[in-house]
A and B are shown apart, each in its own frame.
Chain A
Amino acid sequence: MKTIKYLSMKVLAITAIALGFATLPGKAQTLENYYANIDWQFNFPQSDGFVKKGSGWGLNFEGGYYLTENLSVGAFLTYHSNHKYIPRETIILPENGSLNTDQQHTLFQLPFGVSGRYTLNREGMFQPYFGLKLGPQYGKLKTVFNVFQETTNTWGFYVSPEIGMNIFPWVYKPGIHVAAYYSYATNKGSLMTYSVDGMSNFGLRLGIAF
């Protein structure tokens, strides 16, 4: 009983500290009408059989302008490469052909377009937000086998909800940016005997906030 009471007090204390931080004003921060983020990202493809292995080979660039105290619109560009090694196998090709090889697959995604955010606690050190990105996505499927490579270029429509937080622990910018996102793009393509119909991803971003 004593232990439960002790734990409850501890949880309350941590919550109070967290809330206190969240409502603290940013040190000497003045409200500015713009924001920008540059992030390293870790992306996990979800929906296609071509590549399904997470990687950190990507960056995100985003900037926006506050229309109101909380609502902003802007633009973004993101790119990411994911890879998958396919062990040696015999692939049955059309017209009676058979191909025996191993492969390295690469899925390259490059969405860009408009973004919107609703940011809370703009005067605080911690500024959480909900965001949405929309736009076209260029996607490239590539397979490399021995000295050969084949590629397929695709285009689709991209949508990506996102939650994140800009953190400004210091007096002056830049601060820290963290985010998590889901994305879906309508890209379709086929390469050798592989086909992709839609590209969905989960991912994390860590970067700097201006």
Chain B
Amino acid sequence: MKKLIPLLLAAAAFTACEKDADTDKLDNKFVVYTNYDKQVDFKQFQTYYIPDSILIIGDKDKTEYWNDENAQRIIETYVFNMDNRGYTRVTQREEADLGLQVSYVKNTYVYTDYGYPEWWWGYPGYWDVPYWGNWGGGWYYPYAVSYAYSTGSFLTELLNLKAVQGQNEKLPIIWSAYMTGMLSGSTSLNVELATQAVSQAFTQSTYLTNK
């Protein structure tokens, strides 16, 4: 067995000789992942509601919201794209067919069990189902999702507010988008990356329309 050790060490040394690709060639724009419920007819919805703040998932126990001008620019990008797809924004969420909730992961140290799609649901102050109405059964994902997260990640979930409410009913999430990437030292550039990613999420979700 002792004779094997130098061989194993040599093998490990050679496998370490792999030359990594030049990541400077990457465009550094956000990675955009989207998924949706294929059973849903998106043309049945007319209106949507989006809060005026972005929930920040950070390392604090206290709920934080981001609603400065940068956050408003990002929210406006969602509004622009939803309007372009034929949906009408309403100011009362009780009147909306769809709810759009946006969260931002501020750092990478809060959750470690990424890969489990609902890891953010346990975050203190995360969007509660009762915020949207009476769905006592909690959230319901009708499709499998796989998320990882790191610094600078936006989570977007589109909720079907027309779904039957009740103590045992679940609120379906019919579309989700996960946008993430390395952040730069420039806030304006980071906001630009975020707004590009939001628009890209809609671009690659051609089914998300009522036209």
Contact = CB atoms under 8 A, between A and B. Distances in A.
Interface in A84-106: 85, 88, 90, 95-106
Contact of A144 (B19, B23, B37, B181): B23
Choose among B33, B180, B205 the residue with the greatest number of A CB atoms under 10 Å from its CB: B33
A148 interface: yes
Interface residues of B, number: 37
A105 B18 CA distance: 13
Given A95-B144, A97-B35, A98-B35, A81 B27 contact: no
A88 B144 CA distance: 24
B21 interface: yes
Interface in B34-72: 34-38
A96 B36 CA distance: 6
Interface string B6-35: 000000001101111111011111111111
A79 B17 contact: yes
A108 B19 CA distance: 8
B50 to A, nearest CB: 22
Nearest to A85: B25
Q: Is the interface of B mostly helix, strand, loop or mixed?
A: loop
B148 interface: yes
A142 B23 CA distance: 13
Contacts of A108: 18
Interface in A37-95: 55, 57, 59, 77, 79, 81, 83, 85, 88, 90, 95
B200 interface: yes
Contacts, number: 90
Contact of B26 (A79, A90, A98, A144): A144
Contact of B180 (A103, A105, A140, A147): A147
Given A97-B33, A99-B32, A146-B31, A90 B17 contact: no
A110 interface: yes
B184 interface: no
A170 interface: no
Given A98-B204, A147-B150, A147-B181, A88 B29 contact: yes
Contact of B18 (A88, A95, A97, A140): A140
Contacts of B32: 99-101
B202 to A, nearest CB: 11
B209 to A, nearest CB: 15
Interface string A14-37: 000000000000000000000000
Nearest to A109: B18
A145 B31 contact: yes
Given A96-B143, A145-B31, A79 B18 contact: yes
B28 A146 contact: yes
26 contacts: A59-B17, A77-B14, A79-B14, A79-B18, A96-B143, A97-B33, A97-B35, A97-B145, A98-B35, A98-B204, A98-B205, A99-B31, A99-B32, A100-B200, A100-B203, A100-B204, A101-B32, A104-B25, A106-B19, A142-B21, A144-B21, A144-B26, A146-B31, A146-B181, A147-B181, A148-B31
Interface of A: 55, 57, 59, 77, 79, 81, 83, 85, 88, 90, 95-106, 108, 110, 138, 140, 142, 144-148
Interface of B: 14-15, 17-23, 25-38, 143-146, 148, 150-151, 180-182, 200, 203-205
